[in-house]
A and B are shown apart, each in its own frame.
Chain A
Amino acid sequence: MDLSAALRRDARPSRPRAKRWLRQTGFWLSVLVIVSPAVLVFLWMLSLSLKNEIDNLAYPPVFIPNPPTFDNFLQVFEQNSIGRYLWNSIVVSGGATLAALLIGVPAGFGIARVGAKRLIVLILIARMTPALSYLIPLFAVFQFLRLNNTLTAMVITHLVITVPIIVYVMAGYFETLPKELEEAALIDGASVWSTFRYVALPLARPGTVVGTILAFIFSWNNFVFGAVLAGRETRTLPVAVYNVLTFEQLAWGPLAAAAIIVTLPVLLLTIIIQKEIVVGLTHGGVKGG
């Protein structure tokens, strides 16, 4: 890994200029090498979605759509109930995130204040369990409650994803808040609930934002739960893209267009709040051990 060694800032400024230039170029080259796979795959996705089928199957491949066409997107919207699946995804991920906020933010606060480390371990073990394994029991229970094929069942199942994320991020965030303000409020006779509501909660806003967005994204991206539990009417977007499109139309253009429709909201969220996501995930990852 002499790459990274080469990247370190030069401590001796008396180096000849040519050598410095070489280092700079080498550094930018390495930046290019690590960033380009991410960019290229997304660009290729975009390129496929904007070309007609002839260009998509041409060899050698056509890279720049000429002229670009929106037919693939139109086709996806016209021939499938994408609107409905989009709505399903919003209801399921939105509902599961909201519910997780309602119960997870107070829980994170409580855990941070009493130092209940064991609960955090429980959440880590939950993260280790394969998502599929929750499905067999939940499937059976929903069958019993006659909830199969309902969005309610989907929202409940997605709590498996959203609750641990919110509790984990919030517990970590509340722990970093200074306790003095809360102590002062308690001494002045405020109840624990009002210190939470009026002192801790407003301060924890950045943490809440990160937790909410991460929970929403991971719920939005989930495929297995919908693939198993959802019926034709209750499919979420990722399931619909896989089921409907791969089986009913094998054309690449519409497939790529559908893939963009699913993942674009998430990518936009990522770019808008990338700084917060970086902080949140670094924090979460580091504490993950």
Chain B
Amino acid sequence: MSTSVMLPARGARFLARRRRNYYLFIAPALLVVGAVIIFPWLYTLWMSAFDWTIGSAAHYVGFGNYRKLFTNQRFGEAVLHTFYFTALAVAAPLVLGTAAAMIFHREFPFRGVLRGVFIMPMMATPVAVALVWTMMFHPQQGVLNYLLSLVGLPPSLWVYSPTLVIPSLVLVEVWHWTPLVMLIVLGGLAALPTEPYESARLDGASEWQLFRYITLPLVAPFIVVAAVIRTIDALKTFDTIYVITGGGPGTASETINLYLYLQAFAFYNIGTASAVVVVFFVIVLALALLLLHVREKTKWT
């Protein structure tokens, strides 16, 4: 440390004062984060204990909102839809994103440009993209059914079918977010050591064996990070579902987030909506922690 040139006591005081100065840099941001992020959390937690519809008086009901939620069939279905959607919307981008990262890890002409094109979907405005997908899903005039007919498949109802609506929405999600997984895994591949490959090649390992037994275990921690981020984002998906189906047909694609939107901003049931937020947050946190736990196990030494 360069401060060692000073007298010890003065040096310590100097450091303490400097530390305090650094905290002054953080203070304004803390204030803002407190106002727009922490305050809403606490307010939501508090409101979840009240029965309150905008325009009428609030009654304290303790855990009443939560009890009602857990016996509410529509909410239960929303939770199941969310899990179904999330499972697909995490798994598919992970596989495709890892494959894409293996491709972009190689040197080839126009790599930069093509990588730029590949990540465009994740930067595109979700609402705009969702509108275009809505047109592509159209059962009569949609381009997707035309493409199916080209390869001899029967037309599909896509988002108009209660059974296909969630997989169809996942298709949009995969298109949107595979690039993010690719970027994270690519970051992992860039950090890989080269020695294991050289010695394995000398031992006559095949390309598949190199991938399966060296690359995959080494980038596993990065794939898990991608899985965590993807899980959080998939659980939170709103724009795409809201614009394309609005939770329909019926309630076939109503996820927790859409249920929350209806409760809060269509029915103005602030108490119920707040309870949904808290339950939702607990689910997100639990899944994220679970995946981070898996990450600890996949870490290499």
Contact = CB atoms under 8 A, between A and B. Distances in A.
A98 interface: no
A252 B123 CA distance: 23
Contact of A159 (B26, B32, B112, B136): B32
A1 B223 CA distance: 15
B239 A223 contact: yes
A107 B25 CA distance: 5
Interface string A1-43: 1111111110100000000000000010011001101110110
A242 B134 CA distance: 12
A223 B261 CA distance: 13
B96 interface: yes
Contact of A61 (B126, B128, B146, B288): B146
Interface string B200-227: 0100001110111001000001101110
Interface string A258-273: 1110110011011100
A140 B133 CA distance: 34
Interface residues of B, number: 106
A130 interface: yes
Contacts, number: 308
A131 B136 CA distance: 28
A246 B103 CA distance: 39
6 contacts: A7-B106, A38-B120, A122-B37, A159-B36, A262-B127, A281-B180
Nearest to B102: A4
A130 B238 contact: yes
Interface in B189-208: 190, 201, 206-208
Contacts of B229: 285, 288
Given A38-B120, A110-B24, A274-B116, A59 B37 contact: no
B285 A128 contact: yes
Contact of A288 (B112, B186, B228): B228
Nearest to B142: A61
A256 B130 CA distance: 11
Contacts of B184: 282, 285-286, 288
A172 B187 CA distance: 15
A9 B252 CA distance: 46
Given A107-B29, A132-B261, A288-B228, A274 B115 contact: yes
B140 interface: yes
